[in-house]
Chain A
Amino acid sequence: MIRTEEMLLNVGPQHPSTHGVFRLVLKLDGEMIIEATPVIGYLHRGTEKLAENLQFTQIIPYTDRMDYLAAMTNNYVLCHAVETMMNIEIPERAEYLRVITMELGRIASHLVWWGTYLLDLGATSPFLYAFREREMIINLLNEISGGRLTFNYMRVGGVKWDAPEGWIEKVKEFVPYMREQLKGYDQLVTGNEIFLNRVKGIGVYTKEEALNYSLSGANLRCTGVKWDLRKDEPYSIYDRFEFDSITAETGDAWARYQVRLQEIEESLKILEQAADQIPAQGDMIGKVPKIIKPPQGEAFVRIESPRGEIGCFIASDGKKEPYRLKFRRPSFYNLQILPKLLVGQNMANLIAILGAIDIVLGEVDG
């Protein structure tokens, strides 16, 4: 008789396919996963606690380091929360620059996801193509903000710099170029039979489960829930642009792939319109007092980051520093469904399921 027993296997924290320092303790029966326990906190820096001793302008560089693949949205959510509390009006041109940089960031983030997800599944070349285009976006953002990933670009009341000369034109040129590349991506991967066999029907969850686990972003929309804060709760100037919120029906990894790729297309639409509509001149910062002191009280705002709903809660006691700052970090919430998805799956599917959730560990751990 063959004696079988369960095996405990550690995946990570240093493992290339966990996209950072994420650890999974797996209980295996042969190749089958019976139980998965995620262990997080390896990248915990206590951003929220640190912020209690910092002025609001000083917190902005810290938000760069949460979701480091799309730092512009993090910059924005903090500034937006403070602006909501203080009723600050943002100049027109600054608002457009914010939207353009945020959408560029969204494309860059989805490109990293696309590239690394395919890399996880064993295809090396898509990664190189994705990073080719991402590098162009990063160069654009580097030109405007002075940083490749940690932009520190937005300020309470506006943005730090105006766009350098010719920058808007470069964005305009980038849009048709990226559209062309997207077709290439579809040609390269979307019809690939090996890829389809790997992603179709794995990591499936229903609409109700997604809502119960409070998933957001592409992870929610892949089940058919049309919920995109840019459309449903327009912040900034998103109500001025025409674009769709993309949904898919099946709720598997393949649906999430489709949603994210099509979202790049929608972001390009926004970029195109924003680059056309942006006023030629204008202030970069609105009427902001020299020392930023939000009035006593609380505020919560949420916006659509590439990974889902990112929220910022500020409790202020009228001082320069927040009394309490809390971020609703979408990666952290999206990750919670992972143990449920992994049960009963083959070991080889683990990476495909984890990758499809699209987490950033800087954001999970905070």
Chain B
Amino acid sequence: MMLGLAKGLTYTLKNLTKKKLTYDYPNEPLPLPDRFRGIQKFYPEKCIVCNQCANICPTDCITLTGKKHPDPKKRGKIIETYDINFEICILCDLCTEVCPTEAIIMTNNFELAEYSRDELFKDLQWLDENDQNLRKENKA
């Protein structure tokens, strides 16, 4: 009559002795694959102010401005401000995909909790200093 129940219980008992599957996060960092899309790292020196990242962004979370190159012999622009609004950034990876110079790449960092909304607005300096756990493979 209650055979099915007993059968189910043996399955549970069999699994009792198995190895634990949970991670001791946050005491230990979570292992993540290289391709994981985390908070971006930005290299101001590589940026050529082509605006492609801001154009492809599906949520319009990137704003950037450039200025003339200080060295009059060189043409082109250099970056002046670069902001990502992480209130709306969905870490979709399209900005790094279109960047021709790999000036913006993904990292494996994902901890973005802040006490206020304003702090989610990250500027050039913050994105430049976000240089841990960089993604190795950035172009498909």
Contact = CB atoms under 8 A, between A and B. Distances in A.
Interface string A244-285: 000000000000000000000000000000000000000010
Contact of B58 (A61, A143, A189, A194): A61
B17 interface: no
B35 A188 contact: no
Interface in A124-183: 125, 129, 132, 135, 139, 142-147, 150, 152, 160-162, 164
Contacts of B36: 142, 146-147
B93 A152 contact: yes
A191 B92 contact: no
Interface string A318-336: 0000000000000000000
B132 interface: no
Interface string B1-19: 1111101101110010000
Nearest to A51: B58
A187 interface: yes
Contacts of B91: 147
Contacts of B32: 142
B88 interface: no
A192 interface: yes
A192 B56 CA distance: 52
Given A57-B56, A61-B92, A125-B12, A192 B5 contact: yes
B33 A61 contact: no
Contacts of B1: 193
Nearest to A142: B33
Interface string B89-131: 0111110010000000010000000000000000000000000
A142 B2 CA distance: 41
B77 interface: no
Contact of B94 (A57, A191, A192): A57
Interface of B: 1-5, 7-8, 10-12, 15, 21, 32-37, 56-58, 90-94, 97, 106, 140
Given A143-B33, A188-B7, 11 more contacts: A57-B56, A58-B94, A61-B92, A125-B12, A135-B21, A146-B93, A147-B37, A150-B90, A160-B97, A188-B11, A195-B4
10 contacts: A59-B58, A146-B36, A147-B37, A152-B94, A160-B93, A164-B33, A187-B11, A188-B7, A191-B3, A196-B4
In order of increasing CB-CB distance, the 7 nearest A-B pairs are: A191-B4, A146-B35, A61-B92, A58-B58, A143-B33, A146-B37, A188-B11
